[in-house]
Amino acid sequence: MEKIGIVLLNYLNYQDTIECVDSIRKMDYEIEGIVIVDNHSDNESFAVLHKKYQDDAKIIVVKTGKNYGFAKGNNVGINIARKRFRAEFIFVANNDILFVQKEYFDKLLGHYAEGVGVIGSEIQLGDGTIQKRYLTYTSLKESIIIFLYYFSLVHQNIFLRSLLPEIHRSACTLHGCALLLTPDFFKYYEGFYKRTFLYCEEDILYLMCRIYNLQQRYVNGSYIFHKENQSSQ
């Protein structure tokens, strides 16, 4: 059985985190452990989560010194999960998802092979639809263009945006709310690119994989439930 660790990033909405952990415990797959990273919530989140799980050897709750955002916050948990639980695969998930398919991890691992860096799945939404997969880009050049495009949005640089050519999207990449990072990914990286805060992580992750010819795989027939937008809110 492959060693999987799970990282959950909590900010304020600790009840979602508790519900997510409860759903993990109902799965068939025995994971190595869960790392809950409280991203410097200014409410009682850390105290509640720490008290609830302090006697559980398979759950570690930590609090960051400030709000690091998505990438760097998850990287804290990834580092702990790999060292403390000796996890080879790391599943990074929004805390507002629920595991509803008991054989979920078996399905994802069934699509792992040499050269596969990241694995994802279908994501069910509250209205019964499947969350639309993000789109990737046909070349390294277009990956750079999309990064510059988002950079221009963040910094409100209309001049830079006007200079960028039209983006032609083609293939599929994976949604950041639920990603399985493989040992092949960790041959080259320790986690996400750390200089973002909340957006562009999927695009940069795609580019990171392209650099080392790592595949991203989307597994049809495997699914989780996403409450959607709770983390962003």
Tell me 157's DSSP state. Answer: -
Q: Note the pLDDT tens digit of each residue in 160-186.
A: 666 666 655 555 567 778 999 999 999
**pLDDT of res. 118:** 95
pLDDT surpassing 50 at residue 231 = no
Q: Note the pLDDT tens digit of each residue in 186-230.
A: 999 999 988 775 567 787 888 889 889 999 998 988 999 998 654
Q: Which residue has the higher pLDDT, 150 or 28?
A: 28
**pLDDT of res. 210:** 86
**pLDDT of res. 174:** 78
Q: Are 216 and 137 in contact (CB under 8 A)?
A: no
C-alpha distance from residue 131 to each of 59, 110, 186 (Å): 29, 22, 27
pLDDT surpassing 80 at residue 127 = no
Rounded percentage of the chain residues whose pLDDT exceeds 90: 61
pLDDT surpassing 50 at residue 148 = yes
**pLDDT of res. 135:** 54
Once rounded to an integer, what is the mean pLDDT over residues 105-134? 86
Low-confidence winner among 57-66, 123-132, 176-185, 210-219 (lowest mean pLDDT) = 123-132
Q: Which residue has the higher pLDDT, 104 or 227?
A: 104
With cut-offs at 50, 70 and 90, classify the pLDDT of residue 232: very low
**pLDDT of res. 138:** 52
pLDDT surpassing 90 at residue 129 = no
Question: 0.75 exceeded by the pTM?
Answer: yes
From start to end of 64-214, where are the E strands?
Answer: 89-94, 97-98, 116-124, 135-137, 169-172, 178-181
With cut-offs at 50, 70 and 90, classify the pLDDT of residue 144: confident
**pLDDT of res. 22:** 97
Cβ burial 18-49 (10 Å sphere, 16+ → b, else e): bbbbeebeebebebbbbbbbbbebeeebbebb
pLDDT surpassing 60 at residue 40 = yes
From start to end of 4-79, where are the E strands?
Answer: 4-10, 33-38, 59-63
Q: Which residue has the higher pLDDT, 73 or 125?
A: 73
